Amino acid sequence: MGALLATDTIPAQLVTLDPRFECNGDERVQRLFTGGRWLEGPVYHPAGRYLLCSDIPNDRMLRWDETTGTVGVFRQPAGHTNGHTLDGQGRLVSCEQGNRRVTRTEHDGSITVLADSWRGKRLNSPNDVVVHSDGAVWFTDPPYGITSDYEGNRGVSEIGGCHVYRVTPGGDPEAVVLDAERPNGLAFSPDERRLYLADTRRKHIRVFDVTAEGGLTGGDVLAECDAGSFDGLRVDDRGMIWAAAHDGVHCYHPDGTRLGRILLPEIVSNLVFGGPKRNVLYMTASTSVYAIRLTVNGCTPPWARR
């Protein structure tokens, strides 16, 4: 698997719907890789200057090297991983749909299981994950990895519901959202006072207030999708919410107004801001990984602020 040429690009389609969008960028979008079955969970590693993502049906994680442009297999088998993030020590935290668990890859390459059950029952198939500055790991648990053998291993839901969980260092998972139907993408606001949750089945984004104890209140619908359904979420340093949808990526103001869109020719599953200045938006979309450099920057993780 080699790198695609830099000439493999498509015209950029940035659509401004509200003047508060204030986002411009490259005239063309790069296609960094194509040939996956269903790509998800991009995470940018700033120290290594590489992007990881999951090719879920092929049960592999791919690694794109920013310095060389090459793409290779990072891990296979990979437990049908889906979403990934980095913790405060730069360690990879992954949702393994096939193994029905959330894990952390240590600096020596060993794997630590962070969560695989709730109240003695196996998780469904963890999907997306974020890490709070206090070290707690928050993740969603829909059933996509157990409904068939395509994205995991066919199985039965022992819990009987699809929840959002929070697990503190060394602790057990605590369910913090019990009324979601298909919880998927997660993102904190820059000050971590809000948590945004995409529900794919209900085709909306909800917003919760985060309490000092790590609980949630509220849960009102912030935005509804008119292009398929929402999947992954990210937030920029202005607090704007970026959501993956079937026609591309939608950008929302915290008041719920859709500000703009970036259109792509494939269904977008997930996204992440990366690059040395966090102004490159990487998007996993069906079979391909796309990238565009923008005039906005992704939110700095709280643990990385000085």
Res 160 pLDDT > 80: yes
How large a percentage of the chain has pLDDT more than 90? 95
Q: Does residue 243 have a pLDDT over 90? A: yes
Q: Are 144 and 100 in contact (CB under 8 A)?
A: no
Q: Is 87 a catalytic residue?
A: no
- Report whether pLDDT(129) > 80: yes
Binding residues for a divalent metal cation, as ranges, are 40, 184, 231
Classify strands 81-86 and 71-75 as parallel, antiparallel or unpaired: unpaired
pLDDT for 251-265, tens place per residue? 999 999 999 999 999
For the stretch 32-50, pLDDT in tens is 999 999 999 999 999 999 9
Given a cut of 60, is residue 287 above it in pLDDT? Answer: yes
pLDDT over 80 (residue 303):
no
Give the three-class secondary structure for 173.
coil
Omega into 126 within 30° of 0, i.e. cis? no
- Set 59, 231, 236, 247: catalytic member: 231
Using the predicted structure, report yes or no on whether residue 304 has a pLDDT greater than 90.
no
Examine the pLDDT at 112 and tell me if it is beyond 80.
yes
Q: Tell me the per-residue pLDDT of 220-233, one tens digit each, with 9 for 90 and over.
A: 999 999 999 999 99
Does pLDDT of 4 surpass 50?
no
What would the pLDDT profile of 195-206 be if each residue is shown by its tens digit? 999 999 999 999
> Which parts of 56-161 are beta strand (E)?
60-65, 71-75, 81-86, 92-96, 101-105, 111-115, 117-118, 121-122, 129-131, 137-140
- The pLDDT value recorded for residue 5 is 41
3-state SS assignment for residue 223: strand
| Span 285-300, average pLDDT | 97
Quote the pTM value: 0.96
pLDDT at 1: 43
In the numeric block, which tokens belong to residue 174?
């605590």
Binding site, annotated residues: 40, 127, 151, 184, 231
Distance CA 290, CA 43 (A): 13
Give the pLDDT score at 3: 42
Write out the binding residues for substrate. Answer: 127, 151
pLDDT at 305: 62
Average pLDDT score over the chain: 95
* Strands 50-55 vs 137-140: parallel, antiparallel or unpaired: unpaired
What value does the mean pLDDT take over residues 93-109? 98
pLDDT in tens, 54-91: 999 999 999 999 999 999 999 999 999 999 999 999 99
